[in-house]
């Protein structure tokens, strides 16, 4: 007992504190816990090193009865690559373009000039200016008015005021219910047209002028199907 006290008295202050703390925290572990706690202090050799007086790691503390210390887990990297096909993936496929259900029946789409002599919209693959076969022409210039030369005894123009561009069936319905022979136009005016051969077209005015030779420029789509 005397030797133990002399040995304890010879320890550094840091080692004494460490020994007392470890014995207290490991007392519930029985004899083996005390032995395991004393061994590091005996190997201290009386050194006054603050680094060895630090508390034991969380792994050793987990051996203390009555304490639940979670086991170490591997944290997944935060910069994991996105899953294939996700919006942020560089190889994600671009969304497919959605076409109108009757787009395959389109005969022509592109620009036309509607002047004192207008285009024959029945000509494929591209409408041509033709005085004898014109389907629309510029009738007045102030304000600009477009006249239809479509199916005999049937109004061949109809103003379209919908928020979206019409398809063929919508234009056909508009012509059968609201057809007129002449329409006053300005930039942005949309007109449904029935051609001399009975085809349906939609015309969007893109520019106007006060000249019969210059006339109006428009974007037109002509469907190939001929109405009954």
The helices-and-strands tally (H runs, E runs) of the chain is 5, 10
How far is 90 from 79, CA to CA, in rounded Å?
15
The whole-number pLDDT of residue 154 equals 67
The whole-number pLDDT of residue 110 equals 97
List residues bridging with 184 in a β-sheet: 145
- Mean of pLDDT values over 76-88: 46
pTM: 0.55
Instruction: Write out pLDDT tens, residues 154-189.
Output: 679 999 999 999 999 999 999 999 999 999 999 999
How far is 99 from 109, CA to CA, in rounded Å?
14
Instruction: Write out pLDDT tens, residues 112-157.
Output: 999 999 999 999 999 999 888 899 999 999 899 999 876 555 679 9
Instruction: Write out pLDDT tens, residues 15-68.
Output: 667 666 655 554 554 444 444 444 444 444 444 444 444 445 444 444 444 455
- Mean of pLDDT values over 190-215: 94
Highest mean pLDDT among 36-40, 76-80, 216-220: 216-220
Pairing type for strands 106-114 and 128-129 reads: unpaired
Q: What angle do CA 216, 221, 226 make, to 5 degrees?
A: 120
List residues bridging with 157 in a β-sheet: 180, 193
The whole-number pLDDT of residue 17 equals 72
């Amino acid at each position: 007992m005397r030797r133990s006290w002399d040995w304890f008295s010879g320890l550094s202050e840091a080692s004494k504190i460490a020994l007392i703390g470890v014995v207290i925290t490991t007392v519930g572990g029985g004899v083996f816990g005390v032995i395991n706690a004393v061994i590091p202090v005996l190997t201290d050799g009386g050194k006054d090193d603050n680094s060895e007086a630090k508390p034991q790691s969380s792994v050793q503390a987990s051996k203390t009865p009555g304490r639940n210390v979670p086991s170490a887990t591997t944290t997944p990297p935060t910069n994991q690559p996105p899953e294939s096909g996700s919006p942020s993936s560089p190889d994600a496929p671009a969304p497919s373009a959605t076409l109108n259900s009757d787009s395959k029946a389109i005969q022509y789409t592109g620009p036309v000039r509607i002047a004192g002599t207008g285009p024959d919209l029945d000509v494929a693959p591209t409408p041509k200016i033709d005085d004898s076969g014109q389907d629309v022409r510029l009738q007045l210039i102030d304000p600009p008015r477009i006249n239809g030369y479509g199916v005999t005894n049937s109004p061949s123009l109809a103003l379209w005021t919908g928020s979206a561009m019409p398809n063929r069936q919508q234009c056909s319905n508009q012509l059968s219910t609201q057809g007129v022979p002449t329409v006053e136009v300005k930039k942005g005016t949309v007109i449904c047209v029935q051609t001399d051969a009975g085809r349906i077209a939609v015309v969007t005015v893109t520019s106007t002028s006060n000249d019969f030779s210059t006339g109006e420029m428009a974007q037109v789509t002509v469907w190939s199907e001929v109405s009954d």
